[in-house]
Amino acid sequence: MISASDRQLAVLLIQEVVVAGAREYLACNILNLTQRTLQRWRNQEVCEDQRPHVKRQSPVNKLSDSEQQQIVAVINQPAFKSLPPSQIVPRLADQGTYIASESTFCRVMHQHALQHHRGRSAKPTSKPLTSHRATSPNQVWMWDITPSRSRPRVSNDNPYAESIFRTCKYRPEYPANGFESIDKAREWVLRFVRWYNTEHCHSGLNFLTPNQGLAKQIFDNRKQVYEAAKASHPTRWSGSTRNWSLEEEVGLNPERVTPIQAGQKSKN
C-alpha cells in the first residue's frame, strides 16, 4: 500500500514532467501507475489509503476470546506447563477434551509471548552466508569438505537407540556435570526408564506410552472426541479428523527404494 505522502509526491513529480513537455502516460509508466489511478488520486486530493482501516469480518473458524483464554489457562497448568502442544493435545483428548489443534496452540502461545526456547539444547541460530572475493592468487582458499552432523548409514546403526540416548541426555533433570557415583547414576536411570515407559507419550506410537497396551481403546476414544469437536465446529475442519492408528510396519535401516523399484513393486 502506498502512503499519502508518497501519493502526493508522485502527483507532483508527474505534474512537473508534464509541464516540461513529457506525456502523462509515459510518466505514469515509469512509476508503475495507470492514468486512472493518477486521476483518482487527484480527484480525492490524495487521501490516505483506507484499506488498513476497513472493518473486516472475522474468519468463521477463528477461536473465540474465551477459547484462547482456555488455551492459555491449560498450558499454564502444572501438568502441562513443561510440555509442548504435541504432547498436550493428545493428553487432553484422552480426558475427553478438544480445544484446538497443535498448530493453533502454538499460534496462541506466540500471541501471548508464551513460546520461548526451553530445554537443554542450544537455541537455534541463523548465520548469514559468508561472501569472499579474490583479486589475486592465494587470497582465498577453499576446501572440498562439507561438514555434516548427520550419521552415514551403516549396517549396525540403530536410530532407535540413538533416539533414546538423546531423550535421556536432554532431560531437564539430567546432571550436566555427571553423576556423583554409580549408585546415583543407577537411581537416575531407573527414574528415567519409569518416566519413559509410563508417562512419556511417544510420537512413534502416535502419542501413547509403551506400557499402556490399550492402543485400540485409546484411539477409539480420541477419534470420538475429535468427531464430536468437528460436529460442533465443522467450519474449522477442511477434511477428515486426525488419523489415530499405529504403523503396521516399522523397519531398522530399511533399504532405500528408488522410484523405479517402487513402480515395479506396485505392479506386482
- CA atoms of 29 and 178, how far apart (whole Å): 70
Q: Which three cell numbers stand for residue 154?
A: 551403516
- CA-to-CA separations, 207 to 118, 192, 204, in angstroms, rounded: 21, 18, 7
pLDDT in tens, 193-246: 999 999 999 988 999 999 988 999 999 999 999 999 999 999 888 889 999 998
**Residue 106, pLDDT score:** 93
Helices vs strands, H then E, count in the chain: 10, 0
Residue 137 pLDDT > 90: no
CB 118 within 8 A of CB 85: no
208 forms beta bridges with 202
Instruction: Look at residue 250 and tell me if it is in a domain.
Output: no
Closest CA to 74 of 40, 29, 108: 108
Distance of CA 185 to the CA centre of its chain: 36
pLDDT in tens, 152-196: 666 666 777 888 888 888 888 888 888 999 999 999 999 999 999
pLDDT in tens, 2-40: 777 888 888 889 889 898 888 998 999 998 889 898 888
**Residue 48, pLDDT score:** 62
- CA atoms of 212 and 250, how far apart (whole Å): 19
- pTM here? 0.65
Three-state helix/strand/coil letters over 247-261: CCCCCCCCCCCCHHH
Question: What are residue 254's phi and psi, to 5 degrees?
Answer: -65, 150
CB 53 within 8 A of CB 29: no
* Number of domains into which the chain is organized: 1
Range of the domain at 18: 4-50
Instruction: Look at residue 98 and tell me if it is in a domain.
Output: no
Instruction: Look at residue 19 and tell me if it is in a domain.
Output: yes
Looking at the chain, the whole-number percentage of residues with pLDDT higher than 70 is 84
Q: Tell me the average pLDDT across 130-135.
A: 84
Q: Which three cell numbers stand for residue 137?
A: 592468487
Instruction: Look at residue 119 and tell me if it is in a domain.
Output: no
Instruction: Look at residue 11 and tell me if it is in a domain.
Output: yes
Instruction: Look at residue 34 and tell me if it is in a domain.
Output: yes
Instruction: Look at residue 35 and tell me if it is in a domain.
Output: yes
pLDDT in tens, 93-124: 999 999 999 999 999 999 998 887 766 777 77
Give the CB-side neighbour count of residue 170, counting CA atoms within 13 A. Answer: 11
Burial of 14 (0-12, 13-18, 19+ CB in 10 A): buried
Instruction: Look at residue 82 and tell me if it is in a domain.
Output: no
Give the CB-side neighbour count of residue 175, counting CA atoms within 13 A. Answer: 11
Residues 6+ positions from 155 with CB-CB distance below 8 Å: 253
Contacts 24+ apart (CB under 8 A), 113-120: 114/72, 114/75, 114/76, 118/82, 119/170, 119/172, 120/169, 120/170, 120/171, 120/172, 120/174, 120/176
Q: Which three cell numbers stand for residue 8?
A: 502526493
